[in-house]
Amino acid sequence: MDYETLCKILDHSPDGIFIWDKDTVLVYANKAALEQNMVNKEEFIGHTWEELKENDHVFGGFVPLAFREKRIMHAKSIGPSGREKYITNTPVFDSEGNVEYVIATVRELETFISDIGKLNIPIGLLNEPRKPPEDERTLCMPSGIHHKRIINFINRMASTTATVLILGESGTGKSEIAKLIHKYSNREKEPFVAVNCGAIPEGLLESAFFGYEKGAFTGASSMKMGYFEVANKGTLFLDEIGELSLPMQVKLLRVLQEKKFHRVGGTRDISIDVRILAATNKDLGAMVAAGDFRSDLYYRLNVLQLMVPPLRERQEDMPDLIAYFLNYYNKIYSTSKTMSDGVVKKLMKMPWHGNIRELDNMIERLVLLCPAPVITEKYLIEQDDSIYKNKTSLVPLKKAVEDAEKRVLQQAFIMHKDCRSIAKAIGVSYVTVSRKLKQYNIT
């Protein structure tokens, strides 16, 4: 059988197949492998494992390991699409017992479960059960460059024990990223404990984090473990880390440095093995400069940093996200709604101060409120951006009037389109509507 025929046959395999030579150069990748990684052949073939890694193509560290240890290596990862993959790296030996090639076969979990189902084998026999619907929402499945960068970061850093600081605006998915880092780490089967640092009263912070002994204070009728102890061997996610007070920052720093603490009211040191993930929507660097956040704690937390961009900077992800949430809520509410192109365009232009969380809520609202099978612009109510402004601050009266006029005209334009209908609906003249639409650049 010639090489060309063999390649045609392997292109029919549903599994991705990679072949690496002894210099870890990728010498072959079949059609499924290229599709799984969303690349063309020229981007892969002829490049070394290190080169591909530097270009954010991630295969885990198991290819070099299979060459070094001369044994089959199994791994799991998530590809650019966000789908979970299982990888088997099999060494091929020459006549002298040296590893000449490593063949990596890659199968997406979704495909694997589907195939198993066709054989009527109970899902319970699988090592990894089908993910519940809630988990399927994690990060969604867009294909833009920012999403790929986040997925690649998770792939590369999940297996380490380093502290990760996740930065980004509210609603960008920082907590979901933390869950994925834990899920794809070697601590997956250990506890994942998430703590909102801004939601705990100052007086309860120490006992919440470190626990307390019986009799430590009035009402302490029994010993209670804190977050660090509960998360031992696993991952502790400190959300809104920028909300911690300076005294609590000192105590947290000591635990991170010494890997031990004692409960409130206790004297015995308790050693722990916990991986720390932290997140904030604040500028910690500016807080350090202002004296509101300890520099030594900042450097301890900022070993690995991931900046999650706001949704308004992820325009290429918007169509995928809109389609994803629409499909998700159609399933939840047993509907089959679709969206007009006009609605999608309007959604693309909105500022999304609440980011993915706000988009999620908007799509759910549209699915619930629209009685028709097609969601049109008539049902799309522009978000009132006054909710993002400081309610206690005053603005000039002229600007307040202009803002109110603009919001009314935006909503009227969505519902009516032509100037005469808008004028009739809001009780002003055609000339006024025409002039105001130009003034506020509403098209």
Supply the pLDDT for residue 81: 59
**Run of H or E including 102:** strand 99-108
Mean predicted confidence (pLDDT) in 342-349: 88
Among residues 83, 230, 86, 78, which one has the least CA distance to residue 154?
78
Supply the pLDDT for residue 150: 83
Q: Class assignment of domain 3-125? A: alpha beta
* Residues 90, 93, 96: CA angle, nearest 5 degrees: 160
Query: What's the topology of domain 390-443?
Result: Arc Repressor Mutant, subunit A (1.10.10)
pLDDT exceeds cutoff 70 at 391: no
pLDDT exceeds cutoff 50 at 2: yes
Statement: 311-380 belongs to CATH 1.10.132.20: no
Q: Which of 33-37, 150-154, 420-424 has the lowest mean pLDDT?
A: 33-37
Asked if residues 34 and 58 have their Cβ atoms less than 8 Å apart, the reply is: no
90-121 per-position pLDDT tens digit: 889 888 888 899 898 887 766 655 554 444 43
Strand order from edge to edge, sheet including 164-167: 192-196, 235-239, 275-280, 164-167, 304-307
Greater confidence (137 vs 356) lies with 356
**What stretch(es) of the chain map to CATH 3.40.50.300?**
161-307
Supply the pLDDT for residue 98: 86
Read off the pTM: 0.60
pLDDT exceeds cutoff 90 at 46: no
Q: What is the largest CA-CA distance in the chain?
A: 91
366-390 per-position pLDDT tens digit: 888 888 899 988 777 644 444 444 4
189-245 per-position pLDDT tens digit: 999 999 999 888 888 888 999 998 888 887 788 888 999 999 999 999 999 999 999
Supply the pLDDT for residue 301: 94
The CATH number of 161-307, from 1.10.260.40, 3.40.50.720, 1.20.1260.10, 3.40.50.300, is 3.40.50.300
**What stretch(es) of the chain map to CATH 1.10.10?**
390-443
Supply the pLDDT for residue 318: 87
**What stretch(es) of the chain map to CATH 3.30.450.20?**
3-125
Greater confidence (85 vs 168) lies with 168
Greater confidence (358 vs 51) lies with 358
170-184 per-position pLDDT tens digit: 998 899 899 999 988
Bridge partner residues of 76 (DSSP) = 86
Q: What's the pLDDT band for 414 if we cut at 50, 70, 90?
A: low
Supply the pLDDT for residue 388: 42
pLDDT exceeds cutoff 90 at 7: no
In three-state secondary structure terms, 432 is helix
**What stretch(es) of the chain map to CATH 1.10.8.60?**
311-380
